Structure 1
């Protein structure tokens, strides 16, 4: 998956075309198409996708393709409860999705690695003003890419209470490796939903990054955040002082992509140590251990 070589002419053309495409318009069109209920069309879309990406429907809670009312219901299908067992170790940090490690490491001088020769600011990713204080400098991050064939619900790495949520409007570039090599600050430029939780490992940020053809991002507490994809202003919601706080268990579903994208996890320094065997290009699965919680708050 991850290739740090010099971008090829084909990759450069792929990225150049994205600058010209009506990214938001295409994503809105895909959102509508994915919800068409006319049986001949929805059946064609579902069967073609399942065949092209060799989807193993034996893992799905509903294995019959014909049972899904539209393509998006199939794409965001639930898995069987036993399909992704959670690591039982009490201090394990769980992988939140099925996907591939794009980058993983330390947040040094407030910067995250995007690809070879590219990094970007945690403040920009989090929707903060340039240079604004945040608890993640010196901590760790993991960027996990979801391919079209992956399970597209997002789950909690640790139990947590929702502290805040921010919607950051932006572009909708592809988030694959080719684009990551050629679009500076990609993940801080794309539309995204930033969720911060209070956990036993301190402040945890989960950033759900949109991409071209991603018809929507949802959370279990707020429902659909996008679409629409319009507007230039940040939207922010505070939950810290709620009388009835939103608490999600370790491994519980917290959101989903209506078509695929990327999740970025951030933890403060000294709280989480990633497993040493993790590296860019490695496939990971929901519920398996990707790190260890080092301390409690």
Structure 2
């Protein structure tokens, strides 16, 4: 390779490093160590995500009437400048979740077109993503400056219109770190569980944007465009996939955004937890721009896999395996488990774990023997390439086993 080529690659890499820094914080002062500082909370991009549904407005709405604003939404979506999300219970109603300009530019450089044509063709870029993720995870775990922690939490509450009334601890000043607020707990009853006595029901394990598919082929046709996506790669265990999740297995993909409650719960029950497998990997974004663009984010990202042995006919009935895959994402440093030890019994809706620092995704895989039938509105939206906003405990399907 010529010196000019090496120099060009170095400049490209340096430019990308700057972009990644702006993905983390676009304020005038960046965290360059492992500490959280005051005066750096404005415009912080923890991960691409929406403004609150209840305060969904655009800056361009001040200059264009409603019809033109919706046209701009469609135009921006076509250029991957945001995502449409359906609102459940409101047929035909959907919102456009826009992203900050610095996030859009960074994601365009990283995830537009194929991996071979993007910055991610360089192994050093993957290493950089991991390093930035780990560093920012430490920053948001930092408890050394309570005033800086409170400043960042208050900025986050304002940006995403967080409802403090539903929190178990509603006082922002009592959280010792930003992460402790990020995976905050809710009051008991804040997320009612649909049909709690019906063991056949499948409910959402998270506050999220949801897609569901009857099989892998359907998911790769309408949503997951990564050419290398298979269940073998997703669970990181060929023997497990071949034995428990043959062709015809159905999937639920649950994507969390920054504003969402970041604890996840059992989607089915009663269950007995199997072993947890830790699969090393990358820290690519789980945003639809990457998922729809040909990146194998679900089977390449760092993830944990636990098998839930579910009895859809209730206690004492035959059990079927369900793969629960918690996937780390771009600038997400931690996947935590509340009570997933092998042999642990649980009911649907009980807390299972949490994501620290940033949005991420859960993929649940059900074998054909589970005979899961997804709720039709969710399936229709998914086959139209549209996520649906749901919350923990909402019914999303039922087993006919």
Same fold, TM exceeding 0.5? Answer: yes
Change over 3 Å in CA distance of 1:118–1:182 after alignment to 2: same
CA contact 1:75–1:152 (8 Å) conserved in 2? yes
Partner of 1:189: 300
Work out whether 1:98 is the aligned partner of 2:216. Answer: no
Change over 3 Å in CA distance of 1:189–1:114 after alignment to 2: farther
- Aligned equivalent of 1:255, options 331, 345, 353: 353
Q: Distance in 1 between matches of 2:172 and 2:80?
A: 38
- What's the TM-score once normalised by structure 1's chain length? 0.84
Partner of 1:151: 261
Q: Distance in 2 between matches of 1:167 and 1:125?
A: 12
CA contact 1:112–1:121 (8 Å) conserved in 2? no
CA contact 1:7–1:182 (8 Å) conserved in 2? no
Partner of 1:229: none
- Pairwise CA distance, 1:132: 5.6
Change over 3 Å in CA distance of 1:4–1:273 after alignment to 2: farther
Flag structure 1 segments of 5+ consecutive residues without an equivalent.
223-236, 240-244
> Cα deviation per residue 1:152-178 (whole Å; 9 max; x = unaligned)?
001001121111211110110011011
Q: Distance in 2 between matches of 1:273 and 1:58?
A: 35
Partner of 1:172: 283
Q: Distance in 1 between matches of 2:324 and 2:185?
A: 21
CA contact 1:167–1:194 (8 Å) conserved in 2? yes
Work out whether 1:220 is the aligned partner of 2:330. Answer: no
- Say which structure is richer in strand: 1
Change over 3 Å in CA distance of 1:270–1:113 after alignment to 2: farther
Runs of 4+ in 1 over 4 A off after TM superposition: 1-11, 108-114
- Aligned equivalent of 1:62, options 161, 169, 191: 169
> Cα deviation per residue 1:92-132 (whole Å; 9 max; x = unaligned)?
2111000001x321224697567364451001000023996
- Aligned equivalent of 1:74, options 181, 203, 211: 181
Q: Distance in 1 between matches of 2:241 and 2:310?
A: 22
Partner of 2:235: 126
Partner of 1:203: 321
Partner of 1:242: none
Q: Distance in 1 between matches of 2:241 and 2:263?
A: 31
Partner of 2:5: none
Partner of 2:27: none
Partner of 1:276: 376
> Cα deviation per residue 1:240-286 (whole Å; 9 max; x = unaligned)?
xxxxx211221111111002200001101142111111033210100
CA contact 2:225–2:293 (8 Å) conserved in 1? no
Aligned residue pairs total 274
> Cα deviation per residue 1:178-225 (whole Å; 9 max; x = unaligned)?
111224321000000011011014111110000122120011246xxx
Q: Distance in 2 between matches of 1:132 and 1:251?
A: 25
- What's the TM-score once normalised by structure 2's chain length? 0.63
Q: Distance in 2 between matches of 1:111 and 1:178?
A: 15
Q: Which moved more, 1:187-196 or 1:11-20?
A: 11-20
CA contact 1:203–1:268 (8 Å) conserved in 2? yes
The structure that has the greater radius of gyration is: 2
- Aligned equivalent of 2:363, options 259, 264, 278: 264
